[in-house]
Amino acid sequence: MKKYKIGYTTGVFDLFHIGHLNILKRAKEQCEYLIVGVTVDELVSYKNKQAIIPFEERIAIVESIKYVDKAVPQVNMNKMEAWEKYKFNVMFVGSDWKGTDKWNEYERQFAKVGVDIVYFPYTQGTSSTKLRKVLDCIINDQIASTKE
């Protein structure tokens, strides 16, 4: 029997890579039912970025992953509002958020309603940011070579 009944995690899931898959797999190993919030395009701008893959395609990718029981739009950053809607028992988050003021506050709020927060280690070596930089270099090289 799994430790938790309902788990929840969120992400942009742009340029889907092994780090994304690792989080979803590890989350599913700890809960019976995994709900994944996929950040809508309008909300991606909170990181001063723009998703390369449109929301409709990103959520289709995430909901097709065997570890995901339900993919839902993440329309704001309010995790307590998500809990009100989905009543999860545990929230899975990357360890890069652990100890931040924002997540310390979420830990206090979730403790009041009996929700655990589990931090997963950040996957080293691959990230959407690194993939984006590689793509930018390739595109810039192609542009430069067409001007020669």
| Helix (DSSP H) and strand (DSSP E) numbers for the chain | 6, 5
2, 5, 47, 133: which is the annotated catalytic residue? 47
Give the H or E element holding residue 94.
strand 90-94
Q: Considering only CA atoms, which of 74, 16, 81, 20 is closest in space to residue 42?
A: 74
CB 121 within 8 A of CB 18: no
Both tokens assigned to 102: 């924002």
In the structure encoding, which two tokens stand for residue 63, read together? 């909901």
In the residue annotation, 5 being an active-site residue is answered as no
| Among 2, 3, 49, 102, the one annotated catalytic | 49
Asked about 66 being catalytic, the answer comes back as: no
If one counts every other C-beta atom within 10 angstroms of the C-beta of residue 91, the result is 23
- Which residues does the annotation mark as catalytic? 47, 49
